[in-house]
């Protein structure tokens, strides 16, 4: 068994439940960040803020605040990777999966592919932030020293 250190069995139910959990974390916290941004500028809430391509933009204050909410959400999701995924090697996989499902949801919501450059830029930045920070946190936890002398000491 010495050659099987940290070997994992492929568990599709665990993987699917982790994907669903990360998707729930993504949309829950994005909704909370958007509500916080809307509370600051007294704006009405709508699904367009999450799924519409045109909302994210550099030209309007609402667009810049929405972009800030997406960036804060990627930091929150990085914490979700750290708490629930716990594997540095899987952070990029789950990050891309979450954003791919968000891309599909936006495509269905708008009935066409995104053509706004700011939407693509903010999603690439969010993918990079979420993956790098999540991997950093997970690797820091994985590389923590393992205590060898955890049992009671005996006087010999």
Instruction: Assess whether pLDDT exceeds 70 at residue 57.
Output: yes
Give the domain extent around 114.
16-142
Please give the radius of gyration of the chain, using alpha carbons only, rounded to the nearest integer: 20
Instruction: Report the distance separating Cα 62 and Cα 37, nearest Å.
Output: 9
Look at residues 4, 17, 26, 7 and name the one whose alpha carbon lies nearest to residue 85.
17
Q: Is residue 5 part of a domain?
A: no
pLDDT tens-digit map of 95-154: 999 999 999 999 999 999 988 899 999 999 999 999 999 999 999 988 886 777 666 666
Residue 56 lies in a domain: yes
> How many domains are contained in the chain?
1
2 compared with 136, residue with greater pLDDT: 136
Whether 10 maps to a domain, the answer reads no
Does residue 57 sit within a domain?
yes
Question: Which residues does 134 contact at the CB level (< 8 Å), separation at least 6?
Answer: 77, 78, 79, 80, 81, 82, 85, 91, 94, 95
Q: pLDDT, tens digit, for every residue of 60-93?
A: 888 888 999 999 999 999 999 999 998 889 999 9
């Amino acid at each position: 068994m010495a050659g099987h250190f940290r070997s994992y069995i492929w568990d599709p139910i665990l993987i699917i439940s982790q994907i669903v959990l990360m998707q729930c974390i993504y949309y829950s916290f994005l909704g909370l960040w958007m509500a916080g941004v809307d509370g600051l500028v007294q704006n009405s809430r709508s699904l367009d803020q999450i799924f519409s391509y045109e909302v994210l933009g550099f030209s309007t204050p609402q667009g810049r605040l929405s972009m800030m909410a997406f960036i804060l959400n990627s930091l929150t999701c990085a914490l979700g990777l750290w708490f629930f995924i716990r594997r540095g090697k899987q952070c990029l996989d789950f990050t891309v999966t979450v954003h791919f499902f968000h891309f599909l949801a936006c495509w269905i919501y708008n009935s066409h592919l995104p053509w706004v450059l700011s939407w693509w830029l903010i999603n690439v930045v969010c993918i990079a932030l979420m993956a790098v920070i999540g991997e950093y946190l997970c690797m820091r936890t994985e590389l923590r020293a393992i205590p060898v002398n955890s049992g009671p000491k005996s006087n010999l």
